[in-house]
Amino acid sequence: MSKKRVVIAGMGFGGLRAAKALAGSGFELLLVDRNNYHLFQPLLYQVATAGLEEEEIAYPLRGLVRGWKDTTFLLAEIIGINVADRTIRTDSEVISYDYLIIAAGSRTNYFGMDSVAKNAFDLKRLDQAEDLRNQILFMFERAERESDVRRREALLTFVIVGGGPTGVEFAGALRELIVYVLSKDHPTIASSETRIIIVEAANSLLTAMPDDLREYARLKLISMGVEVMLESKVIGATEESVQLFGGTTIGTHTLLWSAGVAAADLAGAIPGIERGGAGRIVVQPDLTIPGHPNVMVIGDMACCLTNGAPLPMMAPVASQQGEYAAQSIVARERGASLPAFRYRDKGAMATIGKSSAVAVTGGFKFRGYIAWLAWLLLHLFYLVGFRNRVVVMMNWTYAYWFQERQVRIITSKNRRSVRS
């Protein structure tokens, strides 16, 4: 009897965890991703702020699965899923499956604002982080030669839409890049000439955090020199400005959008399934699609209702669902079944700057140095691959002691494509 084939679509946190748990458990495993690496997305903002190199947060998938039994990796874009035929279609072939785990993650959601989509930077992919890094460095180069006061101000203004972890962490890291590094690289530009503005629609930053930690983060950012605009909504953008609801316009060439995500486009490529908010696929309590017990959706793509609300789109949810999906398939093959998926909330954390972070776990709240240290160790722990950890640790140590960042090169190919 030939082995049953499990196809996992997407090698993010969810897909990777499912693959690890299923490898060697009697299935033929086919892992599909459009990139040949697993991306450690939570640290993308450090690539964008010249703190880490791209390769340090991207781990080659073939290297990971090398020793795994009956496991194949396929570099391909999935363009259709046919749950009736039990096949997926890639850009080059059609592949059948016995079990399918859909884990293609999310894309940025501009909520239909085309002018923002066209002019904003984005922080979901590796090349986007590189683009943003090039942009930041290039704006300082341009500002050096700009004599018009207003235009110079716009070049040195950086607007971040969204006060979630990405926005907060990016803002803090950018501020430190400017104060410790760029102001020394550019003696004619004072740190005080630059502006970093977080624009957040809600009435606080980090809405997943307890009140006092939100406030701590806000005050800490302000003390670092970051402007925080709460209850403010972006309604449009041009190459040189961003418009807020109420009439305010801010001159900037660098607008980072981190205010919304939606399920990856693949969610729309499965005919006849129900989709919830942000285009996520509505799943049953066991993460399967109604009527198709051999198809599971996990991570950002899954709309998994818990106490009436969908689970948040974040790595821990994806990882736990990946583990569950794997166990569930193994159980089903033995004629058993698992109880419904239950998310174990282990807490949340966000780093704000050097020696400063907020964290909450199991009812305990931390902030400042201790939270920062916890953030650091946890991220190192979860980074895939021995060498990555060592190099990242080295970079961080170097940055910490020498207040220097190595990676501030403008890669020429992109400099040309940077808007000017």
Q: Is 276 in the site for a second copy (CB under 8 A)?
A: no
Contact by Cβ (8 Å): 154, 113: no
Question: How many angstroms separate the CA atoms of 385 and 54, rounded?
Answer: 14
Task: Provide the b/e sequence for 69-91 (b: ≥16 CB within 10 Å).
Answer: ebbebbebebeebebeebbbbbe
92 binds a second copy (CB under 8 A): yes
Amino acid at 254: T
Sheet holding 87-90, edge to edge: 78-82, 87-90, 94-96
Work out whether 54 is an interface residue with a second copy (CB under 8 A).
yes
Closest CA to 156 of 143, 175, 137, 141: 143
CB of 38 to a second copy, least distance (A): 10
* Residue 60 sits in the site that holds a second copy (CB under 8 A): yes
Distance CA 246, CA 231 (A): 11
Q: Which of 56, 130, 169, 200 is catalytic?
A: 169
CB of 334 to a second copy, least distance (A): 29
Helix pair 165-176, 211-224: axis angle to 10 deg:
30
Q: Tell which one of 68, 180, 343, 398 touches a second copy (CB under 8 A).
A: 398
Among 98, 141, 227, 323, binds a second copy (CB under 8 A): 141
144 labelled catalytic: no
- Judged by CB, which is closer to a second copy: 43, or 304? 43
Contact stretch for a second copy (CB under 8 A) within 8-16, 158-166, 184-192, 309-317: 184-192
- Phi then psi for residue 348, to 5 deg, are -150, 155
Span from 219-227, 323-331, 373-381, 387-395 in contact with a second copy (CB under 8 A): 387-395
Torsion of Cα atoms, 168 then 174 then 175 then 180, to 10°:
140
Q: Is 93 in the site for a second copy (CB under 8 A)?
A: yes
Paired strand residues for 82: 87
Strand ranges in 239-308 using DSSP code E only, listed in sequence order: 241-244, 249-251, 254-257, 261-263, 281-282, 288-289, 292-297, 302-303, 305-306
Instruction: Provide, rounded to whole angstroms, the least separation between the CB of residue 55 and a second copy.
Output: 5
Are 281 and 322 in contact, with CB atoms under 8 Å apart? no
Nearer to a second copy, 202 or 407 (CB): 407
Least distance to a second copy, CB of residue 188, Å: 9
Q: Which of 98, 153, 185, 323 is close enough to bind a second copy by CB under 8 A?
A: 185
Give yes or no for residue 180 binding a second copy (CB under 8 A): no
Q: Does 28 bind a second copy (CB under 8 A)?
A: no
Instruction: Kindly provide the residue ranges of all beta strands, DSSP E only, lying in 142-184, ordered along the sequence.
Output: 157-161
Check binding of 389 to a second copy (CB under 8 A).
no
- Please list the residues that pair with 364 across neighbouring strands: 361
Choosing from 387, 400, 403, 419, the residue that interacts with a second copy (CB under 8 A) is 387
Q: Is 393 in the site for a second copy (CB under 8 A)?
A: no
**What's the angle, vertex CA 294, arms to CA 288 and CA 296, rounded to 5?**
35
Q: Cβ of residue 287: shortest distance to a second copy, in angstroms?
A: 28
When binding is defined by CB under 8 A, the residue of 27, 37, 341, 366 that contacts a second copy is: 37
Active site positions, annotated: 169
Return residues touching a second copy (CB under 8 A): 34-37, 53-55, 58, 60, 62-63, 66, 74-75, 92-93, 125-127, 130, 137-138, 141, 144-145, 184-186, 385, 387-388, 390-391, 394, 398, 404, 406-413
